[in-house]
């Protein structure tokens, strides 16, 4: 059996801080075109799926911020037994800026094993490797290896509770760890940076006439770079509900408390993308269905994310008005 989904999205946007700057922020207007396509081939014992998402941002005022985003994926899931499934996943992400120096790409490989103990309990383990290449600072390359264990529990048809524990190792190639000279000055060491992270996460969701959920997570990172170690506590609340027959409301609020082990030191972390690592976010979207295939929407979001300079956060407000069409 073959299943296919496709969609097209066109919108205009306003960005109050297009360069994610701390001061002297630049406002901008732009146009976004988004397309997605996915296929599934379903057999009795296996499922093969592929997806492709492309987004083009054309910035009218700051052309250097124009970019193309491509995200593709391929996965195969196989039923080992009536209750155990194994899956292999390959993902590719690429962000190409008009100014190529800010572009990067990653490739993600993952092996997942699922176990459905009963209609109420499930368990999965996932091992993944992500290889990332940043064009910033003469090309930064790093390898992210993650092992995670996730459980799910459905106490009723309307409730879901999930838990996650994960360990991660990030090895940076040819990117030196930072040490301290004279207690305050940073200096590059001969060793490349290496980070280790441990994460615990709890997710609860209620789903009936509305969808209401919350996610709380804690992450502890140790590093041989003096500015790389930190503890992070984050919380997220999301809501989706109908406002009448043809209107939908989506709302997200997320906040983080990030404390560096050496809070007295600030340094540049060149492999971070402030545009992607959404930390403090408030998001509201209103949708109105025109027909079975078409939706018009308006969204407003505010971000307060960390810049490339540790412990320094920029503010950005974005407005977007657009149209979605399901092919």
pLDDT per residue as tens digits for the range 65-96 = 899 999 999 999 999 998 999 999 999 999 99
Does residue 135 carry a pLDDT above 80?
no
Quote the pLDDT of residue 136: 66
202-227: average pLDDT = 96
Which of 9-18, 20-29, 291-300 has the weakest average pLDDT?
20-29
Give φ, ψ of 119 to 5 degrees.
-70, -15
Of residues 135 and 122, which shows the higher confidence score?
A: 122
High-pLDDT (> 70) share of the chain, %: 99
**pLDDT score recorded for residue 183:** 74
CA-based Rg of the chain, rounded to a whole angstrom?
22
Residues 226, 176: contact at Cβ < 8 Å?
no
- Per-residue pLDDT tens for 271-304? 888 888 789 999 999 999 999 999 999 999 999 9
Average pLDDT, the chain: 93
**Phi/psi class of residue 171: alpha, beta or left (left: φ > 0; alpha: ψ in -120 to 50)?**
beta
Beta-ladder partners of 270: none
pLDDT at 290: 95
Q: What percent of the chain has pLDDT over 90?
A: 77
Q: Report whether 39 contacts 50 (CB < 8 A).
A: yes
3-state secondary structure of 225: coil
Domains along the chain with CATH numbers: 2-326 (2.40.160)
| Pair type for strands 294-306 and 247-260 | unpaired
Q: Is the per-residue pLDDT at 124 higher than 80? A: yes
Question: What is the structure's pLDDT at 175?
Answer: 87
The pLDDT value recorded for residue 151 is 96
Buried b / exposed e along 45-82 (16+ C-beta atoms within 10 A): eebebebbbebebebeebeebbbbbeeebebebeeeee
pLDDT at position 236: 98
Place of tokens 């190529």: 100
Question: How far, in whole angstroms, is CA 214 from its chain's centroid?
Answer: 17
Pairing of strands 294-306, 280-289: antiparallel
Which residue is listed with tokens 């992210």? 144
Residue 137 predicted with pLDDT over 60: no
Q: Kindly state the tokens that stand for 241.
A: 């509900």
Lowest mean pLDDT among 32-41, 99-108, 248-257: 99-108
- pLDDT for residue 138 is more than 80: no
Tokens, residue 84: 């155990």
Residue-wise pLDDT tens digits, 244-267: 889 999 999 999 999 999 999 888
Residue 179 carries which DSSP code?
E
Is pTM, for the whole model, over 0.75?
yes
**Residue 50 clears pLDDT 90, i.e. is over it:** yes
pLDDT in tens, 149-180: 999 999 989 999 999 999 999 999 888 999 99
């Amino acid at each position: 059996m073959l299943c296919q989904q496709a969609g097209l999205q066109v919108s205009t946007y306003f960005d109050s801080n297009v360069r994610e700057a701390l001061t002297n922020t630049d406002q901008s207007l732009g146009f976004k075109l988004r397309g997605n396509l996915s296929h599934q081939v379903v057999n009795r014992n296996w499922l093969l799926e592929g997806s492709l998402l492309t987004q083009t941002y054309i910035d009218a005022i700051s052309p250097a911020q124009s970019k193309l985003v491509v995200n593709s994926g391929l996965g195969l899931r196989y039923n080992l037994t009536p209750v155990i499934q194994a899956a292999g996943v390959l993902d590719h992400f690429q962000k190409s800026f008009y100014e190529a120096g800010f572009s990067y790409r990653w490739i993600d490989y993952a092996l997942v094993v699922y176990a459905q103990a009963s209609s109420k309990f499930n368990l999965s383990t996932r091992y993944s490797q992500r290889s990332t290449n940043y064009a910033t600072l003469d090309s930064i390359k790093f390898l992210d290896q993650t092992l995670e264990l996730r459980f799910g529990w459905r106490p009723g048809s309307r409730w879901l509770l999930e838990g996650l524990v994960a360990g991660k190792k990030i090895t940076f190639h040819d990117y030196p760890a930072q040490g301290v000279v004279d207690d305050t000055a940073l200096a590059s060491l001969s060793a490349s940076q290496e980070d280790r992270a441990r994460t615990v996460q709890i997710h609860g969701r209620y789903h009936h006439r509305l969808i209401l959920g919350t996610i709380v997570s804690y992450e502890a990172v140790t590093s041989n770079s003096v500015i790389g170690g930190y503890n992070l506590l984050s919380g997220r609340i999301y809501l989706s509900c109908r406002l009448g027959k043809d209107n939908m409301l989506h709302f997200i609020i997320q906040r983080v408390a990030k404390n560096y082990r050496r809070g007295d030191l600030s340094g540049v972390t060149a492999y971070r993308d402030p545009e992607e690592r959404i930390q403090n976010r408030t998001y509201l979207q209103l949708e109105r269905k025109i027909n079975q295939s078409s939706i018009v929407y308006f969204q407003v979001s505010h971000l307060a994310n960390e810049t490339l300079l540790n412990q320094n956060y920029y503010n950005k407000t974005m407005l977007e008005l657009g149209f979605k069409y399901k092919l």
